[in-house]
Structure 1
Amino acid sequence: MDILIVYGTTEGQTRKIVRFLTDRFRGAGHAVTEADAADGLATTISDFDRVILAASVHAGRYQSSIVHLARANHDALTARRAVFLSISLTAASDDVEERQGLEECVEKFAHETGWTPNHVEHVAGAFRFTQYDFFKGLVMRSIAARHNIKVARGADLELTDWDALACFANNFAGPPGN
């Protein structure tokens, strides 16, 4: 099976998640093409059996490169099994209101692009303090403190559940030739 994964990333956690999925799919015998949406797409979505679009939420919005790509390709995305990976810190939360806010981000994305994914997989991201400027670092430390998350000074903290992501990969692709 030919799988396309197109992603948008800000601090790099989405790219790390995509690389994990790529390795899982290739290890299972699938052909995988991955592309950063900011670099443009050197192929057409219709060349692939299945597609994953992955983007991270920052201030309630996904990367504009993914929004533009989904808008321009919504017919091709709708014509095949295509899922959306929404990467966020909120995905690690059990708070009902926060999770509702995440669903609203996805609804806004669908409205902006005209594409309603077959499935949305919420994946927890990471605190990337080594990537933040001073002010973003203050905001992110405040978010961590509000959720009783302890982060060592100058350290990053991954919240991604790699086992859950492996289960998603197995369910999405199935066995080779499927």
Structure 2
Amino acid sequence: MKYLQGYPVALVAQARTLMDSGELAPMLARKYPDPHEIRSDKALFDYTQALKQRFMRNADPLARVCYDAKLKVIQHALGTHTRAYTVQGSRLKARREIRVATLFREAPAEFLKMIVVHELAHIKQPDHDKAFYQLCHHMAPDYAQLEFDLRLWLCCQDAAAGEASALKPAHPPADTAA
């Protein structure tokens, strides 16, 4: 339950009980049954631009939005926002990028929205402070619940990956054919 660090002990215990009984994943699947169709980087860029246009018209433009397969492994993050500064004449230009972990290609639509909203909020608010979370709630009124449920979903994904690796033999069987 590493994704639930910082939450109240009673809440984590309740989540662990649901996980151990095998009820957590089906509960989340019932709560978030709708997948999304945003599979390509272009579709993700368009989706992010639409949210940005709706809620953050005056924010700096985005140069790139893409899925990143290395993100979770290397940076232990689900999404990142970066600024690359370049000098053009006498002006300093910021090139902004958002990268989203590829596991969100298969996540429920609400979880993709939550991570995109989170990364968009970092355009205006670099720190996870009160203003940051107010902006997240402006773009997704149920942001706090989505973030918690996403953390539960990630716990289920880790458990499923752990079970799958436990079923695989540590070493492939030796070839006995001569």
Fold conserved between structures, TM > 0.5: no
Pick the structure with more strand per residue.
1
The structure whose Rg is larger is 2
Pick the structure with more helix per residue.
2
Report the TM-score, using the length of structure 2 for normalisation: 0.25
